[in-house]
Amino acid sequence: MDNKSYQDFYFKKAKMQGYRSRSAFKLIELNKKFNFLKKGIKLLDVGAFPGGWCQVASQNVKNGQIIAIDKKKIIQIKNVKIIEGDFLDENTKKKILKFFNSKIDVILSDMAPNTSGNKSLDTIRTNELCLSILEFSKNTLDKNGVVISKLFMGEDFEEIKAYAKKTFQKINFFKPNSSRDNSRETYIHCNRLNS
């Protein structure tokens, strides 16, 4: 499937199924592989705009709590608390912790910076965001919790992998079929914090 066909296929599929973005299918595939969207969990979705991942989460997480956070304004989604703000800002992190008032079960991040056109720089910036998610999870995630974050294959990939191995008992990497073939993105799945 060439790039244009890919875009048309997932774009049309998202429209037909009522998802706000094609990336919803990435989360569906990730959950099918790792089975982390469960009833009653506390879930944080970072970099959530326009809300495709939250739509999938809200369909699967019954009687749970979901927060979506992004610098861009997200239109309301049923059973999702939306925070407009920068995840890297300490005040935003305080709002997250205040809302949950306990450890978080699942932290998701499909965050990526605005692209600069420089692949190497974009990779570094995206991977810095991934690292910030892993660092945040050390003190906020339930000990049996799950983190899933986007990262790019690049020069600092091994550094993130090493940090994740030190922090978590289990780590995996997975590239969904709904990711573009020519994309360097993959997703890290981490669970069970080291005590």
| Residues identified as active-site | 150
CA-nearest of 174, 7, 192 to 106 is: 192
Token couple for 171: 């780590």
The number of residues in the chain equals 195
- What's the burial of 154, exposed, middle or buried (CB within 10 Å: 0-12/13-18/19+)? middle
DSSP state of 181: T
Query: Do 36 and 120 touch, CB atoms closer than 8 A?
Result: no
